[in-house]
Structure 1
Amino acid sequence: MSDFPTDLKYTSSHEWVQKNDDGTITMGISDHAQDALGDLVFVELPEVGESFGKEEQFAVVESVKAASDVYSPISGEVVEVNESLEDAPEQVNTHPFAEGWLVRIKPSDESEIDTLMDAEAYKESCDE
């Protein structure tokens, strides 16, 4: 059964975002997405300093089943990447909302978060 933390916002393409106290945004893929992908074997992340627009591809996750693009829920500049995923991509499977985060960005327009789904709406979209 997938986990849907209520303090996060979600996209229909299965990414999540979390606002941090320092004004940055942490992003990753949802528990539902990692479960559907299966065991991850590789994660390709952007470089610090790269910028992305809302809904632009910023990463690739590769599992034993398939490779999937990951899209930016909001626009912004990458300020940190989860380098531990280079050696341990399975962290996305075991802890998608903790050790399995992908990037932290400085948002270009924080109001874009308001357009994302809350946990209840995302859960309903996954159940369809």
Structure 2
Amino acid sequence: MANGKRFAQIPMSKCMRDICKEEDYAFLNSLGKQDKSPEDNTFQESEWQDKKEERVHRRQEREQLEREQQLEIEEQRKKKHEKWKSHVAELAVQREAIHAKLHRLREFRDFQKKVLLQDLGQDPGSTDETINHLLMRL
């Protein structure tokens, strides 16, 4: 009856209190009946064994899903890594193309300077400020 005193403060209808009392007595009565037949014990053992097998099966399924997810993550990492490597290679090709273009432009600039010096009749080895100014305007 200690339960009755402890739970008396919980607001509950009289009907609910009666139902709870009935359930309590039914539970206490079932605890008192420990003398079960061997058939009940074997049934409970087989039921327990089935539940254990079910838990093992669920755990194995969970582990399999985790392994599949890990493999999927690894594949995504590999794809990203390959994509990054191809991007870096593409940037290296672009850099080489830019350097080649820069080299061609410098050669053309030197050619323009040489032709301009020849047209003006000056020595190709001399660098005059007016020539640099004319080249900048071109």
Instruction: Report the TM-score range of the alignment, normalised by the length of the smaller protein.
Output: under 0.3
TM-score (norm 1): 0.17
Which of the two has greater strand per residue? 1
